Amino acid sequence: MILLASLRTRWTSLVGAFVAVALGVGLTAAMGLGLDASLSAPDRAPVRFAGSPVVVLGQDRLTVPVERGPSSTYVSKPLAHPHPVDIELLRDLRRLGPVRLDGDARDAVGVDAPARDVREVVGDRARVLTGDERRLADPGAGDDAEALVAVNSFLGTAGGVAAFVSVFVTASTFAFVVALRRREFGLLRMAGATPGQVRGQLLGEALAVGLTASAAGCALGAWGGPRLAEALVAADVAPPWFTVAAGDWLSWPFQLAFWTGMSVSFAGAWAASRRAGRIGPVAALRDASVDGDVMPWSRRLVGAALLACGIGLLLWTLGTDPSALMKRKTYTTQPMILITAAAALAPVLVRPVVRAFRLPGAIGLLVRENATASVRRTAAVAAPVLVTVALAGSLLGSAQTVGEAKATEARDRTQAQLVVTGEDLKDVRVRDVPGAAAVSASAATAVYVREEGSALVRSEARAVRDPAALTATSRLPVVAGDVRDLDDRSIVVNEEWEKHRVGEHVDVWLGDGRRARLRIAAVLALGTGDNGAYVTTANAPAAPLDRIDVTLEPGSAEAEAEAASAALAARSGGEVRPAEQWLAATHPRTKAQTRLGLLMLLAISLVYTGISLASTLLMAASVRGAELRSLRLAGATRGQVRLVVAGEALVAVAAGALLGLAVTAVNLGGLSAGLARLSAPAGVSVPWDALGAGAGVCAVVAAGAAVVGVRRG
């Protein structure tokens, strides 16, 4: 009965937790439905050879034996240059039945013959596809698979961020509820309630909130799943045919979302309930408006441990594998440890930050002193702002910093004035281009190496016709050897390779699957990861030329550059652009899809923060009636009272934003140090626009909720 009466009376203080859990469950359900749809995407019907029962696809994968523990197995990677269906195999297939060709393309053919007979004829010369597997011969089949992987990555990351923020908001809400209800719990203890009964009441409230919010969240997820798919398709994250069904309520996405919501509610209230159970009977008599011991030692120890773990992990990654700091999975998840640590220590960190503010006038003094005295309320407002600002700065800042580093590195590597791009370009020589000092033609390829006997690693590479021309049109970050020593029996690698000493021999598989033993002619710095391998065109005969870099004679005039461009366009058949334009088009600072995905994550965080701010300040206003009436009796007008409460909210938001900036500085500083260790451009890009927008929204919501709470009181 007491529990039901408390829920009826205190429902306004639990609205924030209800909305946070419901939104988190809805997002989790929608993300789960999206993951389920991507993992169980229906097999698409073949299009290219729909009328053929059997398709023979040219060998397009490299399969290599590796050692995995006590046994050996085989791993495979897609070839950079798949094999065509050769004339001899085509002749053998025609003996079995009619063969369908797709124009002049020879990568695959359709065969009207029994599959068993086709397999006997083909052997290991090609792949035999039947049934739905025939769609693998359709153009774009590989792109669809990559798009689904991107969908999985995005939904998994978004779900993780949603769970992280929802747990934080729920835990903060219940912690603040306990702080506001100290007198109530003290009176219950005085009336004879045991610590277990007090804990049980709070946990009962949490479970009631969790049950209703989880059910509402599942309904929200069923509505939002199909619309999430439409948004992903519109943003070019998912393939055009991707859809999400509302699903069965007994399916795993809804079960996962519902029980996650229940667990989040229970876990968020658990620590607060233990604290509530420790409130003694005399707390009702000695309760004061000035917060004393605002943090138990257990929370201090947890916060300090998280802080040490976050900084230690950052330093360990910096020392052992700095390239991992540039991976999206790392810079999306690793900052959360430091963010959690700062949020846990917020009651200790907020007071000195607020003390440092110097606000003018009597109202400014009152705002600062009130914010300092009621540090629990100030910390409860500052903590979600800290999370939002730190997430925005760390996630967007890391993505922009990595993008800037890649773009700067590409500019530093490029010495050419003109760049020609296109598919299957015609070769061009220096004599064909008026005013040209060097012309370097190259093709995209790949090489494969088996490292430590247990992994087959694919490295993107460029196949160059003339190594001397390559050095004249580019500035490669060579750390050992000389690129001009590259020949048909050698290779240029980077420092990431297991073997990277000049003169060593390395066994590789070339882009067409041929095995070769090549000598290392030069070693490049790892950089941002775009410094790939280099071989000669003799080791990539199937790779069509797709890029020509041209360096002009010193002092060439604009007219000479235009003449060179015209000659290049006529000779090569490709698109000619100044190097600056080519760099801007092919090396953007941050990919649009990456930025869009991160902004969606930050929007989720900002919504949660708004919920937390509004609920916290409205709850705080409900117990400040006597305090605010005292201000009115002291001569303050209603407008001045509103200025005080709005000012306190804005000071708390500013303190949270400053702490979030501090966390951002640590994360971006670690990334910058990692780039420096990799010999990559080590600048830092801070997303001030996103930070300003996020902090501004928080300030408006906080000030508005504070003023509305005063009017209600």
Dist CA 325 CA 340 (whole Å): 19
Please check whether residues 528 and 676 belong to one and the same domain.
no
Contact (Cβ atoms closer than 8 angstroms) between residue 698 and residue 610: yes
Give strand pairing partners of 490: 519
Asked whether residue 359 is assigned to any structural domain, the reply reads yes
Q: Point out the domain boundary residue: 108, 136, 164.
A: 136
Segment among 57-71, 376-390, 420-434 with least mean pLDDT: 57-71
- Cα–Cα separations (whole angstroms), residue 556 to 417, 435, 450, 561, 572: 10, 7, 47, 7, 21
- 390 compared with 153, residue with greater pLDDT: 390
In this predicted structure, the answer to whether residue 381 has a pLDDT above a threshold of 80 is: yes
Residue whose token pair is 């910390």: 379
Please check whether residues 562 and 486 belong to one and the same domain.
yes
* pLDDT band for position 288 (cuts 50, 70, 90): very low
And the tokens for 12?
A: 């306004």
Dist CA 634 CA 301 (whole Å): 42
Where b means 16+ CB within 10 Å and e means fewer, 24-53 reads: bbbbbbbbbbbbbbbeebeeeebebbeebb
Dist CA 332 CA 158 (whole Å): 10
* pLDDT band for position 290 (cuts 50, 70, 90): very low
Rounded to the nearest 5°, which phi and psi values hold at 563? Answer: -65, -40
Q: How large is the average pLDDT for residues 290-301?
A: 66
* pLDDT band for position 589 (cuts 50, 70, 90): low
CA 570, 571, 574, 575 torsion-angle sign: negative
Please check whether residues 314 and 366 belong to one and the same domain.
yes
Dist CA 273 CA 171 (whole Å): 11
Segment among 131-145, 320-334, 689-703 with least mean pLDDT: 131-145
Asked whether residue 416 is assigned to any structural domain, the reply reads no
Element holding 74 (H helix, E strand)? strand 71-78
Please check whether residues 468 and 538 belong to one and the same domain.
yes
Please check whether residues 112 and 163 belong to one and the same domain.
no
Where b means 16+ CB within 10 Å and e means fewer, 218-256 reads: bebbbebbbebbeebbeeebbbeebebeebeeeeebbeb
Virtual torsion, Cα 153, 156, 161, 163, nearest 10 deg: 180
List strand residue ranges (DSSP E) for 308-352, in order. none
- 477 compared with 21, residue with greater pLDDT: 477
pLDDT tens column, 197-220: 777 777 787 788 888 888 998 998
Contact (Cβ atoms closer than 8 angstroms) between residue 392 and residue 512: no
Asked whether residue 253 is assigned to any structural domain, the reply reads yes
Q: What angle do CA 397, 401, 403 make, to 5 degrees?
A: 120
Please check whether residues 529 and 489 belong to one and the same domain.
yes
pLDDT tens column, 260-269: 888 877 776 7
Q: Which amino acid, 509?
A: W
Count the Cβ atoms, other than its own, within 10 Å of residue 297: 8
Q: How large is the average pLDDT for residues 301-326?
A: 88
Segment among 16-30, 150-164, 654-668 with least mean pLDDT: 150-164
Spatial CB neighbours of 537, under 8 Å, sequence gap ≥ 6: 442, 443, 463, 464, 465, 543
- Would you state the pLDDT for residue 278? 64
Q: What angle do CA 600, 602, 605 make, to 5 degrees?
A: 115
* pLDDT band for position 336 (cuts 50, 70, 90): confident
Asked whether residue 417 is assigned to any structural domain, the reply reads no
Asked whether residue 312 is assigned to any structural domain, the reply reads yes
- What is the DSSP secondary-structure string of 614-680? HHHHHHHHHT-HHHHHHHHHTT--HHHHHHHHHHHHHHHHHHHHHHHHHHHHHHHHHHHHHHHHTTS
Please check whether residues 39 and 81 belong to one and the same domain.
no
- Would you state the pLDDT for residue 545? 94
Total domain count, the chain: 4
Segment among 148-162, 229-243, 372-386, 449-463 with least mean pLDDT: 148-162
Asked whether residue 144 is assigned to any structural domain, the reply reads yes
And the tokens for 91?
A: 């002749």
Percentage of the residues of the chain whose pLDDT score is greater than 70: 88
Asked whether residue 37 is assigned to any structural domain, the reply reads yes
Contact (Cβ atoms closer than 8 angstroms) between residue 403 and residue 589: yes
Element holding 517 (H helix, E strand)? strand 515-524
Q: Point out the domain boundary residue: 109, 136, 163.
A: 136
Q: Which residues span the domain enclosing 119?
A: 54-136
* pLDDT band for position 464 (cuts 50, 70, 90): very high
Q: Point out the domain boundary residue: 234, 251, 285.
A: 285
Dist CA 695 CA 660 (whole Å): 10
Dist CA 190 CA 192 (whole Å): 5
Count the Cβ atoms, other than its own, within 10 Å of residue 149: 11
Q: How large is the average pLDDT for residues 328-351?
A: 84
Please check whether residues 3 and 110 belong to one and the same domain.
no
Reduce the DSSP state of residue 596 to 3 states and report it: helix
pLDDT tens column, 498-538: 899 999 999 999 999 999 999 999 999 988 877 889 999 99
Dist CA 644 CA 374 (whole Å): 13
Q: Mean pLDDT in the chain?
A: 83
Eight-class DSSP state of 512: T
In this predicted structure, the answer to whether residue 693 has a pLDDT above a threshold of 50 is: yes
* pLDDT band for position 351 (cuts 50, 70, 90): confident
Ramachandran class of 471: left when φ > 0, alpha when ψ lies in -120 to 50, beta otherwise: alpha
In this predicted structure, the answer to whether residue 384 has a pLDDT above a threshold of 60 is: yes
Contact (Cβ atoms closer than 8 angstroms) between residue 490 and residue 519: yes
Count the Cβ atoms, other than its own, within 10 Å of residue 388: 29
Please check whether residues 37 and 61 belong to one and the same domain.
no
- Would you state the pLDDT for residue 280? 62
Please check whether residues 321 and 403 belong to one and the same domain.
yes
Please check whether residues 498 and 629 belong to one and the same domain.
no
Dist CA 107 CA 137 (whole Å): 8
- Cα–Cα separations (whole angstroms), residue 594 to 278, 459, 669: 47, 23, 21
Please check whether residues 566 and 635 belong to one and the same domain.
no
Asked whether residue 581 is assigned to any structural domain, the reply reads no
